[in-house]
Structure 1
Amino acid sequence: MRVNPDSAPSTPSAPGSGSSSSSSSGRSLTTDARRAQIVAAAIETVAELGFARASFAQIAKRAKLSSVRLISYHFQDKEDLFQALVDTVQEAARAAMQPRIHAHSAPAAQLAAYIEANLEFLADHPVEVRALVDVLAGARREDGSPLVSSAGFDTPVALLVQHLRNGQLSGDFRPFDAEAMATAIRASIDAAANRLSAGDDFDARAYGRELVTLFALATRNEEAK
């Protein structure tokens, strides 16, 4: 199971929000607001009860809806709702992290910002992280296949690989296996998400600072001027 609530250093900035009276999908702002209310309730419900116990009834109760049917009006089924949950958390992570990452131009500084921004998002959003991890781990159909789509979850890893390779070409990073390094960086970040979701007494920011030092030492080119 992979958790990628992040933006890789080489990803483009997220598009800004428009001022239109309707969403890009054609939904009204009122409909979007109701959908966001239901997704927020789903996040809180999964974080507290776990995915297995996060029924529409529990989510409707937390969202203070008059009827469970209001969820079905806005979402086709459980898959649709929990896909929206995953997308919402990941988009919030990207929006929070991309400005931090793109404030730098040097490869090493971007990598440090990438790691720090990931860990600070995890520290600041424990409820969302707990819900995301539980849905990705536990949301399964009867045949055992994932309920939510994992399409694109490895994209940040691919972009991170490209960032590391670009840093090698510029001479900022030493020669190393970029795929192995990117996998190690992602695995270290994912480990923090899993610990936080399990409720461990864990200082994610301190951990992030150590990761920055660790991977700065692992990637820097000692021969660069």
Structure 2
Amino acid sequence: MRVNPQGAAAPESGRSFTTDARRAQIVTAAIETVAELGYARASFAQIAKRAKLSSVRLISYHFDDKEDLFQALVDTVQEQARLAIQPRIRAHREPAAMLAAYIEANLDFLAEHPVEVRALVDVFANARRQDGSSLVSSAGFDTPVALLVQHLRDGQRSGAFRPFDAEAMATAIRASIDAAANRISAGNSAGSSAGDGFDPRAYGRELVTLFDLATRNGEAS
């Protein structure tokens, strides 16, 4: 999806705003259906019912098959996350502040979008082809771990971060964030963050403290 300077979504090449609006309606229904019923029960019939479509043929008109629809679901949620998170990171210049913003923005997104998070986690976990391979991918997006590795190494070169294995640290940071997404996904209802009272923002604040202590260069002035 492209975004124009005013922040509104621009239609993909060769598609009208009406077509994009219908596609977005179907993707939203797919997200809500997966979040409530799980990927295994998210049939075209269930999605069409939630989208208030007169026929499942309207889904097939806009999407080639189930893989096309669920790839659109993944791309949509990831784009929502990118638009929410990246500006908050870029608002800072100091490596430690950028890392803190990265963690907090990720956890804020999880807190504010439990339905989308639940759907995304379920699709990644359960959408499989007959050969067992994943039905969807993150192709076209930089991997979060690779971006973190680059940021951590930049911080080390500037002297803001102490020497450490950047790949190991990035993996630990990303795994901690993904653990929160999995906890939200395990919540009892689509309207709550988690069934055990899990607070993503409080968790995020703890992660900021933890990884600040783990990465900071005590010798830096």
TM-score with structure 2 setting the length: 0.92
Whole-angstrom distance in 2 between the partners of 1:57 and 1:15: 29
- Choose which of 206, 213, 220 in structure 1 pairs with 2:216: 220
State whether residues 21 and 29 of structure 1, in contact with CA within 8 Å, keep that contact through their aligned partners in structure 2: no
Over the residues paired in the alignment, what is the CA RMSD in angstroms? Answer: 1.8
Note the alpha carbon deviations across 1:15-38, whole angstroms, 9 max, x for none: 742689962322000000000000
Q: How many residues align?
A: 212
State whether residues 168 and 175 of structure 1, in contact with CA within 8 Å, keep that contact through their aligned partners in structure 2: yes
Structure 2 gaps, min length 5: 188-193
Residue matched to 2:68: 80
Note the alpha carbon deviations across 1:63-97, whole angstroms, 9 max, x for none: 00011000000000000000000000000000011
Note the alpha carbon deviations across 1:106-125, whole angstroms, 9 max, x for none: 00000000000000000000
Whole-angstrom distance in 1 between the partners of 2:9 and 2:82: 24
Change (3 A) 1:102 1:15: farther
Whole-angstrom distance in 1 between the partners of 2:5 and 2:100: 31
Residue matched to 1:163: 151
Whole-angstrom distance in 1 between the partners of 2:95 and 2:41: 44
Whole-angstrom distance in 1 between the partners of 2:210 and 2:9: 47
State whether residues 160 and 220 of structure 2, in contact with CA within 8 Å, keep that contact through their aligned partners in structure 1: yes
Secondary structure of 2:132 counterpart = coil
Between stretches 187-196 and 197-206, larger displacement belongs to 197-206
State whether residues 117 and 185 of structure 2, in contact with CA within 8 Å, keep that contact through their aligned partners in structure 1: yes
Between stretches 18-27 and 202-211, larger displacement belongs to 18-27
Whole-angstrom distance in 2 between the partners of 1:22 and 1:51: 29
Residue matched to 2:207: 211
State whether residues 56 and 71 of structure 1, in contact with CA within 8 Å, keep that contact through their aligned partners in structure 2: yes
Change (3 A) 1:215 1:152: farther
Secondary structure of 2:29 counterpart = helix
2:113 corresponds to 1:130: no
Identity %, equivalent residues: 83
Whole-angstrom distance in 1 between the partners of 2:10 and 2:91: 31
Whole-angstrom distance in 2 between the partners of 1:195 and 1:22: 34
The 5-angstrom pairing of residues 114-153 of structure 1 reads 114-151=102-139
Change (3 A) 1:154 1:137: farther
Residue matched to 2:58: 70
Secondary structure of 1:66 counterpart = coil
Structure 1 gaps, min length 5: 1-13
- Choose which of 186, 196, 199 in structure 2 pairs with 1:198: 186
State whether residues 77 and 120 of structure 2, in contact with CA within 8 Å, keep that contact through their aligned partners in structure 1: yes
Whole-angstrom distance in 2 between the partners of 1:32 and 1:48: 24
Q: Which amino acid aligns with 1:17?
A: N
Between stretches 150-159 and 82-91, larger displacement belongs to 150-159
Between stretches 66-75 and 139-148, larger displacement belongs to 139-148
Residue matched to 1:5: none
Residue matched to 2:190: none
Secondary structure of 2:168 counterpart = helix
Note the alpha carbon deviations across 1:177-205, whole angstroms, 9 max, x for none: 00000000000000000000000321000
Secondary structure of 2:160 counterpart = coil
